[in-house]
Amino acid sequence: MLSVLTFAQNVSQIDWLSDLDSRKTATYGDAVKIYALQTTGRYSTFRSDSSLLEKKGIALAGYAEGDELSKGMLSKMTARYLDLGGSIMYSIFGTERYAFRACIANGIMRADGSENDIISGPELVEVLGRVSEIKGED
């Protein structure tokens, strides 16, 4: 019974990631799910996942589930998750702008565009792959 539930959860995750990979725009809610998956291996509701990520210092204040995800927002969540400290400016100011630059310096984000650019679903999945590689996760 437990293996059936685990399989159903995995199928749900695969379906969601497949849907995300085809979307032109990712949302803050998608990033919350991604980091819930990264930290616990599963995701739940936005409220529950946000609370979990807030306790871990990854969640961002002031954003709603449906808000379009910018490179800066994703970079700040990524910098917090990976505890990136390689950028002096990010270490001092902790803004999305400098988090984006820190992610570029660490090979997580591409240098094209700015922190204000909206992330697509495939770009979010791509960043997830790089983050997983850095953390040594599947």
Residue 94's pLDDT is 76
Give the pTM: 0.86
* Low-confidence winner among 6-10, 56-60, 98-102, 119-123 (lowest mean pLDDT): 6-10
Higher pLDDT, 137 or 127: 127
Average pLDDT for the chain = 86
CA distance 78 to 62: 17
DSSP character at residue 118: B
Q: What pLDDT digit, counting tens, does each position of 8-34 carry?
A: 456 777 888 889 999 999 999 999 999
Give per-residue pLDDT as tens, 75-85: 999 999 998 86
Q: Rounded to an integer, what distance in angstroms lies between the CA atom of residue 125 and that of residue 40?
A: 17
Contact between 68 and 118 (Cβ < 8 Å): yes
